[in-house]
Every structure is written in C-alpha cells, then in structure tokens.
Amino acid sequence: MTTNAPETGSDITIVAVGDIGPDRDDAGELFELNRHVLQAADITFGQLEFVLSDKGFRLPQVRHTVRAKAEDAKSLVEAGFDVVSFAGNHCMDFGPEAMLDTAANLKAAGAEPVGVGRDAHEARQPALVTRNGTEIAFLAYSSVMPHSFWATENRPGCAPMRAYTVYEQIEHDQPGTPARIHTFPHRDDLADLVADVRRQKEAGRFVVVSVHWGIHFIPAVIADYQRDVAHAAIDAGADAVIGHHAHILKGVEVYRGVPIFYSLANFAMDTRITPAHVATKGFQEILALNPDWIPDYEFTFNFPPDSRKTILARFTVRDGFLVDVGFVPGWINDNSQTEPLSSNDPRFSDVVEYLEAISRTAGLRTRYVPDGDFVRPVPADGPCGA
C-alpha cells in the first residue's frame, strides 16, 4: 500500500499482533520465536487477555478465566511491547481493582496501557507514542463484554463499542427454521468512538483503532456491526483498524485506502484445560462453534486447528502518512508460541491461502500479494489508493 506522502522523514514501523494470555511460570518463553520481530519495530502493539495482578476476586458473571502474574508485565515489555490494549471481555474478570492494577503494572514496566480506566473518560483516552517526530495515537474499545464490564461516567471498566443483535424470522409459516441475523452498533458508543478519532486527527496524530469484537471460532464470518464501526472510524480519520478476540483469523479489507484487519487471531495464548472443564455446558457450547476442535490436555495451546494460523501486521508510517502495510504469516506451536514464517515454508502459503478463502467467503474484495516473507493486502480491483 502506498500513498502520496512526502518523502522527507524517517519511516516508523508499527507491528501489531493478536491475543496474549500468559499462564506459565516464565511468560517470556511465549516470545522466544518472535521477539526479534517485536523488538525490531519502532512500536509494538498487542491485546492482553488476562489480568496481570493478584488483587481482586473473580466476578460471578465470568465464564472461563485465568489470572496471570503482575511480573508478566515486565516479560511483555522485555519482549518488545510498547502499547498494550486491555479493552476486552476479560478485563474485569477479577473486578475493577485487578483491572486497574494490571494497567498500573504495565505502565510501571514501561508499556502504555489503553482501553480501560476508572471511568469512561479515562478508558477512552489514547495511548500516545512519539517516534521520529510523529505522534501515534492508539485507541482501544470492546464490543464483547459480560454485563457491567464497560466503563460509565462513574464506574470503572473498558471503553465500550457495544452492538445490538436482531433475529429476523425468514419463513413466518415455518416454525423452527433458521433466522436471519442483523447486528447494529450502539449509537452512543459509535458517536464516542468517532469523536475520539476526530479529536486525535485534529491534533495531527496518526490514529490506530483497536476493537475487541467479532464472532469467535467460526471461520470467515464478520458481523455487520464490525464493518459499520470500522468504516465509521475510517470516515472519521482513522489510519488503521485492527481487531482482536475471535481467536481465529478473519479477512482483511481495504476501505478508502485504509486497512482493516478484522482479526489478528491468537499470538501468545496459554489455554490449559482439564477434562472436568471441557465437560461443562459452557465449554461444550463453545466447542460446538468449530467442529474441528478436539481438546488436547497435554499442551498449553488448545484451540481449533485453524487457530494455529496467525499474522504479525506491520504498518510503515512516514510524516504521518501510512506508506506501506502488510503482514508476516505466523504459525502457533503446541507451546503457544508464534513462529514467523518464511516464504519457503509450506505453512506460509497455507496462511495466505486461508486468508484468501475466508476473505472470499466474507465478501471482501481483497488480494494478498507476497513480497518475499511479507504479504500485502490490496483491493481486488486495483492497487491501494488507486
């Protein structure tokens, strides 16, 4: 992807990866295969799934959860992370005290937390990072949340980007037939997001919007509200939109020259499970979403086979303009570690072909063009910006 940006400044590289959830003695082990990529970027962004705190207590509305350690924040920073979103459906698993302590632990370790706060105003504040004279603003929101996890004017939580679901009966004379599903962004949340983006653009910043959203484990499907939110963010001035939560890759769209990564999938997710946990009704319902998912109690990585495919997105910024975007395909091993792939690895083509297939299924007009070990998403009807 290229723009008409002036070639006067030094390039800034931003690497963004998917979900991170350490559940081991040494969280740094999760990044042994990829820290060279994370550390080579000028700014590295990730999505945190678990609290990094020993404070608080588990809330009753929480389903599956894990408590990671406060010192794991240091492991993330040592691996190369500069900005970490905690806006998601696990931010309040152990209550507001643990959520705020997690943000404080990240800050103390040297990373900028984003997407959570003592109230909605604080949760909507950007993480600001300056490189080579250019200020980058990261905004983070969540559409997937148990009840009361979102921040309000007088309650801690994450920045909300909620959505509504409407089920339309297609054949009114045929009881029990499947319904058509419609989703819509929450009007006030979307207005807040748009206002946040505009505020950062008016300040002259490059704006990255991260949203914890989407339909987990089901291949290809992108909910209508996701497209609405992404397009509204870009119309307001966002320079990139990245998605998390689905634990599986989703397609990439290029809208008005701006990339939308609907799901960066997993990156460093420990998911230890037991037969007793798998036997619960809640976990059985999740398993049913992907018929290829067979639990394995021996390894730390427990997701459907498609979830092993991932990407490390990379954005190049020059003088405040996005001048290049793409990704390095990755593969997650049994120990939950993402291995960046070279183009001569057969798995490289597996990831690219998978993205091509799910993008077609989702109706995204995107081609994926390899350039060595790097892959660029471009509109199917021509180069980005044409």
What is the token pair recorded at 61?
């509305």
Contact 225, 166 (CB under 8 A): no
Question: Whose CA is closest to 43, among 9, 87, 1, 81?
Answer: 81
Residues with Cβ within 8 Å of residue 203, at least 6 apart in sequence: 135, 137
- Tell me, letter by letter, the H, E, C secondary structure of the chain: CCCCCCCCCCCEEEEEEEEEECCCCCHHHHHCCCHHHHHHCCEEEEEECCEECCCCCCCCCCCCCCEECCCHHHHHHHHCCCEEECCCCCCCCCHHHHHHHHHHHHHHHCCEEECEECCHHHHCCCEEEEECCEEEEEEEEECCCCCCCECECCECEECECCEEEEEEECCCCCCCCCEEEEEEECHHHHHHHHHHHHHHHHCCCEEEEEEECCCCCCCCCCCHHHHHHHHHHHHCCCCEEEEECCCCCCCEEEECCEEEECCCCEEEECCCCCHHHHCCHHHHHHHCCCCCCCCCCCCCCCCCHHHHEEEEEEEEEECCEEEEEEEEEEEECCCCCEEECCCCCHHHHHHHHHHHHHHHHCCCCEEEEEECCEEEEEECCCCCCC
CB atoms within 10 A of CB 211: 30
CA gap 322, 140 in Å, rounded: 19
Burial of 28 (0-12, 13-18, 19+ CB in 10 A): middle
pLDDT for the residue numbered 1: 39
pLDDT for the residue numbered 8: 53
CA dihedral 379, 376, 49, 338 (to 10 degrees): 150
Contact 156, 117 (CB under 8 A): yes
Hey, which residues does 331 pair with through a beta bridge?
A: 309, 339
pLDDT for the residue numbered 295: 77
Contact 275, 27 (CB under 8 A): no
| Stated pTM of the model | 0.93
Contact 105, 52 (CB under 8 A): yes
pLDDT for the residue numbered 121: 98
pLDDT for the residue numbered 290: 78
Contact 310, 264 (CB under 8 A): yes
pLDDT for the residue numbered 323: 98
Would you write out the chain's pLDDT as a tens digit for each of its 386 residues? 334 444 456 999 999 999 999 999 999 999 999 999 999 999 999 999 999 999 999 999 888 889 999 999 999 999 999 999 999 999 999 999 999 999 999 999 999 999 999 999 999 999 999 999 999 999 999 999 999 999 999 999 999 999 999 999 998 899 889 999 999 999 999 999 999 999 999 999 999 999 999 999 999 999 999 999 999 999 999 999 999 999 999 999 999 999 999 999 999 999 877 777 777 777 777 777 777 877 777 788 888 899 999 999 999 999 999 999 999 999 999 999 999 999 999 999 999 999 999 999 999 999 999 999 999 999 987 544 33
pLDDT for the residue numbered 382: 52
- Give all domains of the chain, ordered by start, each with its CATH number: 12-379 (3.60.21.10)
